[in-house]
A and B are shown apart, each in its own frame.
Chain A
Amino acid sequence: DIQMTQSPSTLSASVGDRVTITCRASQSISSWLAWYQQKPGKAPKLLIYKASSLESGVPSRFSGSGSGTEFTLTISSLQPDDFATYYCQQYNSYWALTFGGGTKVEIK
């Protein structure tokens, strides 16, 4: 299976900060990567698909970039509603989808 490694595992930031989360794949996945946001006790919410395409209804302060093995999720100006855990997910590997370990964004 393709391994997905996120960094950092925890990130402390303030409202208004620019935040970047990295996701690395153990082999090339082209642009077949999605990002999700999850809040405690809730299901994940799709933010980004195909590495950089913004899901409908997701604020434009979220953006994704990268291809191959290295990807980033950027929040341009962190808002109170953005404190959550973020996961990347690859869908290049047929029939063996995998997620990153998650990055928790905490209030500084």
Chain B
Amino acid sequence: QVQLVQSGAEVKKPGASVKVSCKASGYTFTSYGISWVRQAPGQGLEWMGWISAYNGNTNYAQKLQGRVTMTTDTSTSTAYMELRSLRSDDTAVYYCARDYGGNSGPPDYFDYWGQGTLVTVSS
């Protein structure tokens, strides 16, 4: 069965960076893209960007351009999301999600999700 398993919770200081991992299993990793979606406490969902697990092509939400980098390691079927220059309003649960639209983009909807990783930014 398809599973996306994310790394554990993180606590970071403002200005620091965080890197969250998402290990996929149960399907051919390179046949799909992965999107990252975050959810601030008590708030709605925000799409952060997409990466093709086939060729590494990326596209990021405009508001995060310059601060976010998404990568993949096909040898371990793992996707990564790094967010830099963290601020208090980056405190959120970060989800990876498999994109149904395949590996060439643009992203569609999300049929499988990771369990979420809480990132807390606090001094």
Contact = CB atoms under 8 A, between A and B. Distances in A.
A99 B45 contact: yes
B113 A43 contact: yes
Interface in A66-100: 87, 89, 91, 94-100
Nearest to B60: A95
A91 B109 contact: yes
A87 B100 CA distance: 17
Contacts, number: 55
Contacts of B114: 43
Contacts of B109: 34, 46, 49, 89, 91
A97 B111 contact: no
Contacts of B50: 95
Contacts of A43: 95, 97, 113-116
B111 A99 contact: no
> Which 3 residue pairs spanning A and B have beta carbons closest together?
A34-B109, A43-B113, A97-B47
Given A1-B62, A36-B110, A91-B106, 5 more contacts: A34-B108, A34-B109, A91-B109, A95-B105, A96-B62
16 contacts: A32-B108, A34-B109, A43-B115, A44-B45, A45-B113, A49-B109, A87-B44, A91-B101, A91-B109, A95-B50, A97-B47, A97-B107, A98-B47, A99-B46, A102-B44, A102-B45
